[in-house]
Structure 1
Amino acid sequence: MSVNDSIDMLPFMDITKLEKNIAESLTKIRSTISKANPLITLIQLHGHKFFNHFGDIEASVHGNVKPYENKLLDFTQSLLVTSDVNVGTVCLNLDEITCYIEELEKLFTAATVYVNFAPKDELIKYSQGMQMNVSGSLYPFFEKEHFTDMLSPYTDLLNDIFGITSFDLVEGLLAISRNLRTMGFMEALIDSGISPEEVSEGELLNLAEYFNVKDITGWPIEFIRELSLQQGEYKDFYKSDLQVMLKEPPIKYNPFIGIGGKYYCFSIDNLIDNFYRTVLRAMRRKKSSISNRINDIQKDLSESLPFRFFKTILPTSQMFQNIFYKAPVGANGKNEWCECDGIILFDDVMIITEVKGGALSPVSPFSDEEAYKKSLNDLAKNPYEQSLRLFEEYRRVGKLEIYQKETKKRYKLITSIENIKFIQACCVTLDDFNEIASQIEKTEFIQNSDLPVWCVSVNDLRVYPELFDSPSLFLNYLYQRSHAAKNPYIKVNDELDHIGMYFAYNDYSTRIQEIADEEDIGEIFIASHRDEIDAYMARKINSDLDDGEGESFLDLLIGPAPKPKQEMDFMFEQLINLLDGTKDHLCIRAARYLLLLDSYSRDNINEFLLSRSKRLAEFKNRKAILTPYMAFNFKKEDRISELPVIMIFLLHASNKLFKDVVQRKRFLMERVVFEDEPAYCVLVGMNKNKELTKVITHVIGPEQFQMLPESSYKLLKNTREKIGNSRKFKEL
């Protein structure tokens, strides 16, 4: 629900009246749950959520779509552990459940409006609203991989403290996830012979075992107890009714509820979102002496994970971790040793990577504004400033020597970096701070500079290798995202919205700027662009859970979900894939340049490859020689500064030019548009079926002409003039 929708529903702006409405809604909600058996109530609410989404295709694919439903179980469980022990025994009827849900909707609407009109700065209001309404940041498909990565290093500690291995911990967590995310609840109803329309109190209590953490996981009871709260255990947690909506939930790091000597799990999003920190807190509570060991493990973990993801996307890149370099530091500008978590080099691109394993403030922004801002400072501002120092040193000198630390005072030179054209800062956090990460570059925590910044959590970074299997597309995405970071109109609520907008528009910053200029407006509302990604990832977990035979349930229900990608014409996409597939940096650079072209130019390339491939096939058995080619970015008056001259040559795959570098060089020198600047020549080979099967990129520059003997140069010049007078190529 948008803020405007909330305002329409509540025709008042008076803060005092909003507080009164919040208090009245809470009184009704507390009254309802106080008379009912708490365990039965939670089961009923889970059933409501399950069946409500079962009939809603959008919700079944994308997850919870309404804030009050999103937080339904979290909110109710939080009330139960912060109120006097509930001795109610009745079962709420359908009307009472309906009234409860309606009152909850009013409560969340009033709280949302309150947050937006509270006397706080925009960053705090935005962050509070996101925390209050949004949960479920990790795609279920990644749960096994993610928690295996995050918890495996703690196996010895877990075994020593709780007698449980990280493998058992992850398997138990996945079992809970399957119980609460799949059709298992429906199967439990059917197996019990229960009709969803009419369920008795006794039948509901029998269903309680479906949520029993011990039965589901087999974890030691001592460990489960550490992660649980009993009814009424935190009854002094809230000091006012307003805090119920604005303070962090008491179940954040205690996701299970203890009732009648057993422990149950109902809120899967709260469990998954906070499980890593929950486990670390439980270990520290039981054995405080291990804090330093946990910090060391966390440091190693945070510094290794991001590079593994980047290596998947950019397999031929060079990666240097825990590096040192010299740069002016302090007021006197004296050169000192500076540290960087790592840099990634791919062709002429450098990604400066700083990783933070520290936690985002556990309290909500409204509860402790200073603590929240300090955590953002640690997770975003500090790593960006560290990246900026390296960036400025490289730009000042034009190169950078990087070192490894061998001893306390001894450093070993690794390599010298130069000829970099594009530099991106990437600040990675172990904690998900989704509520602000996608907009952090436009806040006070990121100073205005020429270094583009990309703040991303490990959760979101894990999605990138799944969506980007092309180095050129990923690097083009970073380039486009760097422009979006500078565009004041682009404010999205989620990191993955950036990917969705890139897939939809390519140069999405320019697209949004054009809309703003056409409409002459001050601010643009950008709707979610991650729907296709959500659908694809939902289908991935659905396929992962089925038996592997035949189509999955969602495939049968609404058809298969294709992998999200940027839409391109067939021949153009085939060319990009071919260039990527060479794993040659020069070919991938050519692909990156082609991806910077606008849709009109891309269409020209596609049409050229399509029409000329047919023409070339017709000349296969003739004596006449046909070598179709086209040039881009050669006209001085329309020059795109980011691009060189690009020429595409279409040949038969059997052409000797693909093997003979000397003949190829001569052929290209005769045909490039200019002698005085570099031209990227992309030779594309076509087979007899008009499929593109070969590609080579060759750069022809002024130095190659200058190296020729005078007689050879005169002969070449005459040939170039003859070809120039006769050639006809498509122009950009």
Structure 2
Amino acid sequence: MGKKQKVIKPDDYFEHGPFQITRFGKLVYFQNNITAEQHEELMKKIESSYDKQVSIINSLVSDIRKLIIQCNPLSLLKYAHSRFIQSLIGIESEVQLSKENVHIGRELEYIQSVLAASTPLNSSNELEDQSYVFFEISDKIQQLYSVYENFMYYYTVHHAKNMITSDPDYISFLIEAQAANFHRGDRYAVHEITHIKDLLTPHKDELQKIFNISVAQLLEGLQNIQQSLSQGMLQSMNKLEYLMELFEQKKVDIVDQEDALQIIESDKELKNLRDEFAEDFLGAGLHDLNKLTDWSQIFLENLSWSLGQCNNYFTRNQFPGWPVIEMPIYRKPFIKIDQKYYCFDYYNVFDNIYRVIQKTITDLDHDYKVKWKDIQAKATEDIIINLFKKLLPGCIVFQSNYYPIGTSLKQCAENDLLVLYDNNLIIIEVKSGSYTYTSPMLDIESHIKSLQTLIAKADSQTERTLKYLKSQETVKIYNEQRIEKATIRISDFDEITQMCISLDNFNEFAAKADKLKFLKMKNDTVSIAVDDLRVYSDLFDSPSVFLHFLKQRKLATQSKVALNDELDHYGLYMSHNMYSITADQMDSDHINWYGYREKIDSYFANLINENMKLIKPKQEIPRRIEEIINYLDTSNIRKRTILSTFLLDLSDEARQWFCDAINNTLIRQKETKRMTIASCFGEANYSMCCHQPYLRELEHQYVTDYALAAILQNQESSRLVIHLYFNEKDILYAIDFELLTPADIPSEKIDILSQLADEYAESRIMSYKRQNGLQKIGRNDLCPCGSGKKYKKCHLR
């Protein structure tokens, strides 16, 4: 009779009708037990309520607009920005945001968009208290977003009959694409300015020509905006605190408030501090672009809406004024009020500024459109090359590689990038085109076509390149003029990775592109954005660890892992190492891997503060293994990643066993004055020698025969022979290794090695008995010889 399986209670459980949600730690399981009859009834109920839901949203949109045009626009925008800042207090990771936090974060952009498309009725000054109207606007917008979240399902059911397919995966994508409209923040704050600098610097002459602005001016202004919108309120309070301290130092006898005011007015330093605080905290100084930047008038004018200037947001035929349709703020992130230009919304500036500038310039200078596209492609490739050179120091990169489709160079295909590092080859296709910004409710097909162009096409292109590289023992690649640039031997590479790297960030789909069936991905291509590659370049200090992660990331494309964020892959890697195995062991296919990127978000959120001492989030690696990997990373050992990957593949327990084996061997050899071989059998097959000063070396052939005998006896597919060299202080200073397979066993030595295998096995059994004080070994215990079999089925016989 088998053992009774232990029941593990969930941390959380929720049930609503046929739907169940269960949480175990960071794993969230979704289960749908609905019957066909229940499903049909639910669909009919949803379909019958569609018109009512549209009416509710239209009514809310109308109410909100009527309230907004009653308000002083500047006061309302300041209020909305303060709400946004308050919603982020204590939040370091996106996963910590509640639904209410998300909705509050979207208030500001909707209010600014409504103002851009409406002429305010109110002529009141900024100081008039309209807080009761502001609160009502907030409440209405909260209702609007809440109703819309459910409306996505009503819309999908209502339009299902007109869709090109009833495929559940297609319908699921439609819902996810609509939900993605709520996502903001393409990259971490510490990367914003660098990202824009890398992309716009090649266009410096055109920026100067069209806008009379330099790249340096643009970047300085954006830095000031970033500082003001994220930390301006806090800095204003610090000014007030300093003003009060300074006032205490300078004050004399004060009879009343009038005396205090006179002291401030008569003291230039106090007066300036008072005025700065009043302008920033009570006025709009934190948002005034003329104060924050020295940008030209023409630049500000082209990137700003005047009040009521956008004349089509509320007049469109479908869903007029809805916040999920392209809002005016997407096209122009700034707003002009009383002849002054202001910036309030952080995310819409930094998420969209590059594409906004691109569209504005190419609209004003049509002849530059093609040139912009070409420069953009080259700039994106250059960014990726620099990031890989940081991740893999010393790597070789080939850019813009041409190769014949047939036997002639007259017809060639192009590959964007080849990255060579040790025995690793990375084939990269770069996609610098823009992802569609059309609402999926208006044109879901444009979203599918974008993904097909930016991901699926790259998948087939990398496969075509790989096929060419495998077509002969050695192949040549050429430059655009068909001049040979390199010869590549595919057999030099044990690990080949195909990648698609996009300029635009559509993270929620790229992270699981292989699971989107309509893309028909045929290969294990890893799809990520430049933003995520930039994050990885900061997270990984070791090329060996990065390549090991990249291997796990590739394996995840073939497993049940389906994530909504690229950095969840890294979070899973930190927690579970070979995480695709963890996923495939799960019973359910519908798992939400919740909160795995939280440590990463927290680290980068605090990185903007240079005074904080932060610990980089990474996988825990024991000291001895880290010592080996650090040595390998700085060495020129051929195929060194074979050893690093082998060690990093080990489980936590096996890693610790490996480190203990090193430490115990070093101690024991000092005591016995004799060199020994430490071996492991089973899933991780290795034989390890720890070389120390003043010890007699084991002959190289003896160690090799020892390993080959183990391969022969245990029918192993391979065994790693590792030589570690330590100085008198047990510090590692050199490494050598060899991967042996059955093919390395000479036929004439099989009998000798079989005899040695028996002798070594008996020796291990005797040693095991001696070390454990045993007279005999239990029948059902594992045989100490290393075969992996029970003793009764091995050497007991």
Structure 1 and Structure 2 fold alike (TM over 0.5)? yes
Residue in 2 that maps onto 1:304: 382
What is the aligned counterpart of 1:696 among 723, 731, 736? 736
What is the aligned counterpart of 2:333 among 239, 244, 255? 255
For the 8 Å contact 1:319–1:342, the answer to whether it is kept is yes
Please show how residues 365-404 of structure 1 align to structure 2 within 5 Å.
365-394=440-469, 397=471, 399=473, 401-404=475-478
Residue in 2 that maps onto 1:277: 355
For the 8 Å contact 2:688–2:722, the answer to whether it is kept is yes
Residue in 2 that maps onto 1:679: 719
Please show how residues 308-319 of structure 1 align to structure 2 within 5 Å.
308-319=386-397
Residue in 2 that maps onto 1:124: 174
Residue in 1 that maps onto 2:235: 187
Please show how residues 1-150 of structure 1 align to structure 2 within 5 Å.
13=46, 14-54=49-89, 56-58=90-92, 66-89=101-124, 91=128, 93-119=130-156, 121-131=171-181, 133-150=182-199
What amino acid is the match of 2:371? R
Matched, 1:447 2:520: yes
Residue in 1 that maps onto 2:578: 507
For the 8 Å contact 1:214–1:220, the answer to whether it is kept is no
- Alpha carbons of structure 1 residues 29 and 615: separation in structure 2 relative to 1, 3 Å: farther
Please show how residues 697-712 of structure 1 align to structure 2 within 5 Å.
697-700=737-740, 706=746
State the shift of 1:294 in Å: 1.2
Residue in 1 that maps onto 2:309: 233
- Name the SS of the counterpart of 2:142 in structure 1: helix
> Aligned partners of 2:83 and 2:416: how far apart in 1?
47
Matched, 1:292 2:370: yes
The answer to which of 722-731 and 22-31 deviates more is 722-731
Please give the TM-score of this superposition, normalised by the length of structure 2: 0.76
For the 8 Å contact 2:400–2:480, the answer to whether it is kept is no
> Aligned partners of 1:335 and 1:203: how far apart in 2?
67
> Aligned partners of 1:508 and 1:590: how far apart in 2?
20
The answer to which of 166-175 and 475-484 deviates more is 475-484
> Aligned partners of 2:141 and 2:699: how far apart in 1?
72
What amino acid is the match of 2:563? V
What amino acid is the match of 2:648? L
What amino acid is the match of 1:148? K
> Aligned partners of 2:687 and 2:442: how far apart in 1?
60
Residue in 2 that maps onto 1:431: 504
- Name the SS of the counterpart of 2:381 in structure 1: helix
Contiguous gaps of at least 5 residues in structure 1:
196-201, 544-551, 634-639, 658-662
> Aligned partners of 2:702 and 2:414: how far apart in 1?
49
State the shift of 1:224 in Å: 1.2
For the 8 Å contact 1:86–1:231, the answer to whether it is kept is no
- Alpha carbons of structure 1 residues 713 and 482: separation in structure 2 relative to 1, 3 Å: closer
What is the aligned counterpart of 1:216 among 275, 281, 292? 292
For the 8 Å contact 1:650–1:686, the answer to whether it is kept is yes
- Alpha carbons of structure 1 residues 664 and 540: separation in structure 2 relative to 1, 3 Å: farther
- Alpha carbons of structure 1 residues 678 and 153: separation in structure 2 relative to 1, 3 Å: same
Which digits, 9 at most, give the CA deviation of each residue in 1:46-100, with x for residues without a partner?
A: 122223433x354799789732122221111111112234435264555544443
What is the aligned counterpart of 1:539 among 606, 609, 619? 606
State the shift of 1:270 in Å: 0.7
What amino acid is the match of 1:589? I
What amino acid is the match of 1:100? I
- Name the SS of the counterpart of 2:420 in structure 1: strand
- Alpha carbons of structure 1 residues 609 and 243: separation in structure 2 relative to 1, 3 Å: farther
For the 8 Å contact 2:117–2:310, the answer to whether it is kept is yes
- Alpha carbons of structure 1 residues 513 and 264: separation in structure 2 relative to 1, 3 Å: same
Which digits, 9 at most, give the CA deviation of each residue in 1:168-200, with x for residues without a partner?
A: 211211111111112x223335647999xxxxx
Matched, 1:159 2:234: no
> Aligned partners of 2:409 and 2:361: how far apart in 1?
44
Residue in 1 that maps onto 2:260: none
Residue in 2 that maps onto 1:636: none
State the shift of 1:211 in Å: 0.6
Please show how residues 169-188 of structure 1 align to structure 2 within 5 Å.
169-182=218-231, 184-188=232-236
> Aligned partners of 1:34 and 1:656: how far apart in 2?
90
Which digits, 9 at most, give the CA deviation of each residue in 1:332-357, with x for residues without a partner?
A: x9995322112222333322100111
Identity of aligned residues (%): 25
For the 8 Å contact 2:524–2:554, the answer to whether it is kept is yes
Which digits, 9 at most, give the CA deviation of each residue in 1:219-258, with x for residues without a partner?
A: 1111111111111111322325565132122111310001
Aligned residues: 673
- Alpha carbons of structure 1 residues 192 and 721: separation in structure 2 relative to 1, 3 Å: closer
Which digits, 9 at most, give the CA deviation of each residue in 1:509-554, with x for residues without a partner?
A: 2212222x2xxx45222213111011111121112xxxxxxxx4xx
- Name the SS of the counterpart of 1:576 in structure 2: helix
- Alpha carbons of structure 1 residues 283 and 209: separation in structure 2 relative to 1, 3 Å: same
> Aligned partners of 1:647 and 1:96: how far apart in 2?
76
- Name the SS of the counterpart of 1:486 in structure 2: coil
What amino acid is the match of 1:39? L
For the 8 Å contact 1:36–1:92, the answer to whether it is kept is no
- Alpha carbons of structure 1 residues 326 and 274: separation in structure 2 relative to 1, 3 Å: same
Residue in 2 that maps onto 1:493: 564
> Aligned partners of 1:584 and 1:117: how far apart in 2?
60
> Aligned partners of 2:132 and 2:563: how far apart in 1?
38
> Aligned partners of 2:633 and 2:338: how far apart in 1?
60
- Alpha carbons of structure 1 residues 370 and 241: separation in structure 2 relative to 1, 3 Å: closer
> Aligned partners of 1:464 and 1:127: how far apart in 2?
26
For the 8 Å contact 1:646–1:680, the answer to whether it is kept is yes
What amino acid is the match of 1:28? D
State the shift of 1:604 in Å: 2.2
> Aligned partners of 1:582 and 1:699: how far apart in 2?
18
- Name the SS of the counterpart of 1:672 in structure 2: helix
> Aligned partners of 1:61 and 1:496: how far apart in 2?
12
What amino acid is the match of 2:202? P
Residue in 1 that maps onto 2:266: none
> Aligned partners of 2:72 and 2:427: how far apart in 1?
55
The answer to which of 294-303 and 118-127 deviates more is 118-127
> Aligned partners of 2:329 and 2:218: how far apart in 1?
19
Please give the TM-score of this superposition, normalised by the length of structure 1: 0.83
> Aligned partners of 1:716 and 1:431: how far apart in 2?
59
For the 8 Å contact 2:718–2:740, the answer to whether it is kept is yes
Larger Rg: 2
Residue in 2 that maps onto 1:637: none
- Name the SS of the counterpart of 1:698 in structure 2: strand
What amino acid is the match of 1:564? P
State the shift of 1:480 in Å: 1.6
Residue in 2 that maps onto 1:348: 423
Residue in 2 that maps onto 1:529: 596
What amino acid is the match of 2:529? S
Residue in 1 that maps onto 2:662: 609
What amino acid is the match of 1:225? E
For the 8 Å contact 1:399–1:419, the answer to whether it is kept is no
Matched, 1:483 2:555: yes
The answer to which of 105-114 and 530-539 deviates more is 105-114
> Aligned partners of 2:661 and 2:205: how far apart in 1?
62
Residue in 2 that maps onto 1:565: 618
State the shift of 1:705 in Å: 6.3
What amino acid is the match of 1:218? D
State the shift of 1:715 in Å: 9.7
For the 8 Å contact 2:397–2:420, the answer to whether it is kept is yes
> Aligned partners of 1:204 and 1:87: how far apart in 2?
23
- Alpha carbons of structure 1 residues 648 and 94: separation in structure 2 relative to 1, 3 Å: farther
